[in-house]
């Protein structure tokens, strides 16, 4: 190991060199954490750990992302025709009341026991991890949506979701997160009941088409505004309108 006991001046210069080195660019994907500690010509080089990319605190929800979220709900049995009650479903189908926090209640069926809850059937450890990562404070619908998108991003699938198609690759990447999604082999990652890819794709495409129509209608309503005809009679209202409307001076 190189001897680091040097004079205060040398230590100060070493600190100055580090401060001038500039920020380290965050790596992407599986290489988010890396180290470099080579020693050349007898001079030590400090090992640098590149930080994990920070997740956005709020994910934009586009029609494509909403369609994927709705498809996850459909697969997990919490779709409930799109109603908010789907965000209150416990494993097994019963409901919980408060959305202040994850209910963390173990429910049992004939074959399984689970504490999964909410529209995306979050397990308590997963929910705790997500809340630390993105800072959500409750278990409400918006928080659950954001948490689900974080998990999609964590599985390296958000860019696939943004393409607007439910590919086999996208579904397989999410299979370790949601047991009802099939792997490329068509089975559940956890050996549980699974939805067929064709059924998921059919629901996704119908849902996305509806969401896109609704989004287009909103933009059309914003872009097209009825402009009232100019006032032209001799009423007091018209005179006041002409006074309050600025006119362009003649050249």
Q: What is the pLDDT of residues 177-231, one digit of tens each?
A: 999 999 999 999 999 999 999 999 999 999 999 999 999 998 765 655 555 666 6
Residue 218 confidence (pLDDT): 83
- Over 50: is that where the pLDDT of 45 sits? no
- The domain spans of the chain are 74-154, 155-219
Q: Cα(112)–Cα(17) distance, rounded to whole angstroms?
A: 59
Tell me the average pLDDT across 107-114. Answer: 94
pLDDT for 115 beyond 60? yes
**pTM of the entire predicted model:** 0.68
Distance, in Å, from the CA atom of 44 to the CA atom of 51, rounded to the nearest integer, reads 22
Helices (H), the chain: 8-19, 63-76, 124-134, 141-154, 158-161, 168-174, 197-223, 236-244
Is residue 96 scored above 70 in pLDDT?
A: yes
Computed over every residue of the chain, the mean pLDDT equals 79
CATH class for the domain made up of 74-154: mainly alpha
For residue 190, give both structure tokens.
Answer: 């956890």
Q: Torsion angle of alpha carbons 50, 56, 57, 62, nearest 10°?
A: -160
Print burial letters for 191-215: b (CB count within 10 Å at least 16), e (below 16): eeebbebeebbebbeebbeebeeee
d(C-alpha 48, C-alpha 190), whole Å: 38
Q: What would the pLDDT profile of 142-183 be if each residue is shown by its tens digit?
A: 999 999 999 999 999 999 999 999 999 999 999 999 999 999
Pairing of strands 107-108, 113-114: antiparallel
Q: Is the pLDDT of residue 38 over 70?
A: no
- 186 with 81: CB under 8 angstroms? no
């Amino acid at each position: 190991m190189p001897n680091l006991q040097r004079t205060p001046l040398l230590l100060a210069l070493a600190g100055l060199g580090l401060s001038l080195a500039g920020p380290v660019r965050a790596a992407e994907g599986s290489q988010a954490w890396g180290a470099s500690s080579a020693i050349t010509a007898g001079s030590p080089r400090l090992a640098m750990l590149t930080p994990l990319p920070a997740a956005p605190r709020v994910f934009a929800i586009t029609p494509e992302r909403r369609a994927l979220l709705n498809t996850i709900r459909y697969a997990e049995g919490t779709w409930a025709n799109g109603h908010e009650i789907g965000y209150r479903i416990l494993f097994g189908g019963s409901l919980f009341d408060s959305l202040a926090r994850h209910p963390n209640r173990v429910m049992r069926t004939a074959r399984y026991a689970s504490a999964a809850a909410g529209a995306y059937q979050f397990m308590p450890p997963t929910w705790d991890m997500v809340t630390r990562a993105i800072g959500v404070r409750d278990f409400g619908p918006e928080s659950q949506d954001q948490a689900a998108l974080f998990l999609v991003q964590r599985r390296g699938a958000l860019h696939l979701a943004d393409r607007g198609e439910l590919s086999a690759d996208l579904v397989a990447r999410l299979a370790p997160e949601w047991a009802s999604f099939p792997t490329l082999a068509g089975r559940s990652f956890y050996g549980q009941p699974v939805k067929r890819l064709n059924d998921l794709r059919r629901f996704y495409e119908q849902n996305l088409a509806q969401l896109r129509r609704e989004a287009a209608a909103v933009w059309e309503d914003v872009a097209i505004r009825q402009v009232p005809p100019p006032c032209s009679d001799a009423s007091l209202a018209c005179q006041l309108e002409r006074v309050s409307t600025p006119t362009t001076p003649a050249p």
